[in-house]
Amino acid sequence: MKNNLTIILVFIGFGVFGQNIQIDTLNLKKIGHFKQSQNDKMNYPIVNSGNNLIDSLINFDIKNKFTSNEFTSQSIDSTLIKWSDEQLAYLDFKVTYNKNGILSLNISGEGCGAYCTSWTDYYNYSTKTGKSLNIGEIIDTTGNFKELIISQKNKQYKQQRKELKKRLFDKNHPIDKETYNWALEYYEDCQKSFNIQTFALYPDHLEIIDNCYLPHAIRSMEPYIELKYKYSKIKKYLKIKN
């Protein structure tokens, strides 16, 4: 594989919400195909809590999940260099929650081969144990709250189908019936395969993530599903402090 990245560790601490969990930035300098790109963000998160065991557990779990376990035994910088293989055009992250012993962050990337594809992955950890957290450790999903999520998700998919159908009759940019049916198939698959395990925490709300990625040719028809819940509204279901 060709190595297209230079690794520079930039110590930028995100003292989010007054906590002592620091998130450093591993800066990947672009060379090769994307050296002249105007979008110069190539930032990857490194957790630095001061506890080597906790840091190792979190950092390597994120690294392996983000790179689909391709180089599990190798260091973070070596993995990113080999995994990107001159096709990574953009990389950045956001820390959305960092208090009460919980870290929630997401990493967004864009890879370019025959065409460019962007995505965002979400991660949640206990900074006390270093273990990845599932949604059931954050909120009670055994009853009414889960039913609420499913109900709102179904309503939004119904509305998104209506919006898609309008495009059949758009005077300026109509879509043909074949393309419409193609997109509908993906809507159906996404709705059926939806689960509540992908989520993000924010200072005042919890968000369940429903990403429905469509093929490049119909990417503009991806449904927009928003499932956000303020802690104040779902307090009786919460298992964490906020």
Least confident range of 20-24, 94-98, 99-103, 229-233: 20-24
Q: What is the pLDDT of residue 36?
A: 47
- Closest to 99 (Cα-Cα) out of 207, 18, 198, 205: 18
Tell me the longest C-alpha to C-alpha distance in the chain: 60
Distance of CA 152 to the CA centre of its chain: 21
Nearest to 49 by CA among 142, 141, 130, 152: 130
Out of 12-16, 51-55, 68-72, pick the least confident. 12-16
- Do residues 205 and 231 make contact, with C-beta atoms less than 8 angstroms apart? yes
Q: Which residues of 113-235 form beta strands (DSSP E)?
A: 116-126, 199-201, 205-208, 227-230
For residue range 137-181, list pLDDT tens digits in order.
999 998 899 999 999 999 999 999 999 999 999 988 899 999 999
Question: How far apart, in whole angstroms, are the C-alpha atoms of residue 92 and residue 167?
Answer: 33
Q: Over pLDDT 90: what percentage of the chain?
A: 73
Quick one: pLDDT at residue 116?
87
**Domains along the chain with CATH numbers:** 5-133 (3.30.565.40), 144-237 (no CATH)
SS3 209: coil
